[in-house]
Structure 1
Amino acid sequence: MTSQLAVVTVTYNSGDYLTTFLRSLGEATTADPQVIIADNGSVDGAPERAEREFASARVVRTGGNIGYGGAVNRGVAELGPDIDYVVVANPDVEWSPGSLDELIAATERWPRAGSLGPLIHEPDGSVYPSARRVPDLLSGTGHALFSTIWKSNPWTTAYRADDVAPSERPVGWLSGSCVVLRRTAFDSIDGFDSRYFMYMEDVDLGDRLGKAGWLNVYVPSAVITHTKGHSAGKNPELMLPAHHRSAYRFQADRNPGLLRAPLRLALRIGLAVRSKLAVRAARKALDNNGGHVTGDQR
């Protein structure tokens, strides 16, 4: 397993989260995978410290903040052809004992799985809806426009698959915060679309894997904890508009042509309004309590 498995994580001033990530990784698998830290311009010293303290870790500079998907692609490019499985995970993930081995074991049960993802706990112990349906124009627009003001709306419920109990099964897409990718599948679709700076790159990846004949498989017997938004929450003016631009790109790419131009225009306007409201609310929350904005905007 050691020669077949590698881990890629993307850092941008990740601080002590990266140390927790690497320490817990040692208990998540009996293998000793190489870890590529694709760094997007950190100035906190965390990548360098990790490289000194963990023999398996190696820092790769991306040359600047090129976004999540682009940095993952840069990290994967460092891996040799003997790597069969690439684990892509955020540095603020904490692995449960045996969780990565459980994901790798599931690849044997699902030989057509291009990606496999675990059950993800929030820091408060609640389950994050990480295995979702691919949003079409109607459900994606309904969710994007109403999820924050009408949480029980039918489009969000369908998109997040809130009505489905956790079970090992194929799904539309898996959260890119922690996912095992079969190298042949990842390479067959040319990896992440680097046009997505942040957010929706995992939705796009899962959709393209599915269209290429691969499965995205949810494996809830593998469990991790993800402290979401430690970076995004500090910069809502940058990250929230990036999310809304990515949401528009995803639907615009899948709904081209003159006939759908009015729909794309309405979506662009709606998302622009939602973005401004989200930034305003996030800034107010930060000003009031100095905390992070960690709520899921997707």
Structure 2
Amino acid sequence: MNNQPFDPTTLAISIVSHGQGLLIKNLLQDLSPLINNGAEVLLTLNIPEDESFISNFASNIKVIRNKKPIGFGENHNMANLYTNRDWFVVLNPDVRCNPHVFSSLITAHKATGAGVVAPRVLGVNGNTEDSARHYPTVSRIFKRVISKIRGHRLEPDYELQDGQHIKIDWAAGMFLLFRSSDFRNIGGFDTRFFMYRKTQTFAVAST
């Protein structure tokens, strides 16, 4: 992807914490060049926790404190109501990333006219994560269940390479970039599909 300069003040990044402050502290360090130049972080605390991890960024972060835990979709839908930035990013707390990836994603979005774009995601071992998939079918679901039982790693559904724009059926919610107006026009995530789990899987967004 081509890393063209972009204005960080057009960017809002939504992160939801389930008591994952230590992970988010590392992520905020990754994002600090953007935060220091005006990018907005919308941090939702889904459960009460020690907030000292945001002390160095307090003036640049909007903190949303939930009275009770809610699901993935509802959390990000609520966060989107707190911003008027052009671009809205959904980012998992356990992701680490090069800040240049956001410029690349915006470039890809403009070039393709896609509704949502996502980066190639690498695991800690450097392998491409299975974050871009075909639509599920009974046979694909069965194959995944059997592979998990046997402890085998499935190959990703798509061959992803840096610098390549490829149309996919769907992307995992760990790292997604929307035009904010598009996100609002579709009503955000469908909250009938409830997802809430604490994760400790580390991933790295490829530039």
User: Scaled by the length of structure 1, what TM-score is found?
Assistant: 0.58
2:88/2:179 contact within 8 Å kept: yes
1:30/1:101 contact within 8 Å kept: no
Q: Which residue in the other structure is 2:157 paired with?
A: 161
Q: Which residue in the other structure is 1:76 paired with?
A: 80
Question: Shift of residue 165 of structure 1?
Answer: 4.5
1:52-75 CA-to-partner distances (Å, cap 9, x unmatched) read 311311211122210211111111
Q: Percent identity?
A: 26
2:22/2:53 contact within 8 Å kept: no
Higher RCO (CA 8 Å, separation ≥ 6 residues): 2
Question: Shift of residue 11 of structure 1?
Answer: 0.6
Q: Which has the larger radius of gyration?
A: 1
The answer to whether structure 1 residue 49 and structure 2 residue 52 are counterparts is yes
Q: Distance in 2 between matches of 1:140 and 1:104?
A: 31
Please list, as runs of the form range in 1=range in 2, the aligned pairs for 1:136-285 lying within 5 A after superposition.
Answer: 136=137, 138-149=138-149, 160-161=156-157, 164-166=159-161, 167-198=164-195, 231-232=198-199
Q: Distance in 2 between matches of 1:50 and 1:197?
A: 28
Where does the alignment leave 5 or more consecutive residues of structure 2 unmatched?
1-6, 203-207
User: Scaled by the length of structure 2, what TM-score is found?
Assistant: 0.80
Q: Distance in 2 between matches of 1:135 and 1:31?
A: 40
Q: Which residue in the other structure is 2:102 paired with?
A: 100
Count how many residue pairs are aligned between Structure 1 and Structure 2.
193
Question: Shift of residue 184 of structure 1?
Answer: 2.4
Q: Which residue in the other structure is 1:62 paired with?
A: 66
Q: Distance in 1 between matches of 2:54 and 2:21?
A: 13
Where does the alignment leave 5 or more consecutive residues of structure 1 unmatched?
200-228, 234-293
Question: Shift of residue 4 of structure 1?
Answer: 2.3
Q: Which residue in the other structure is 1:127 paired with?
A: 128
Question: Shift of residue 49 of structure 1?
Answer: 2.4
Give the letter aligned to residue 232 of structure 1.
T
Report the 3-state secondary structure (helix = DSSP H, G, I; strand = E; otherwise coil) of the residue aligned with 1:149. Answer: helix
More helix as a share of residues:
1
1:8-61 CA-to-partner distances (Å, cap 9, x unmatched) read 100111121111111101246895211110110132x1xx32443113112111
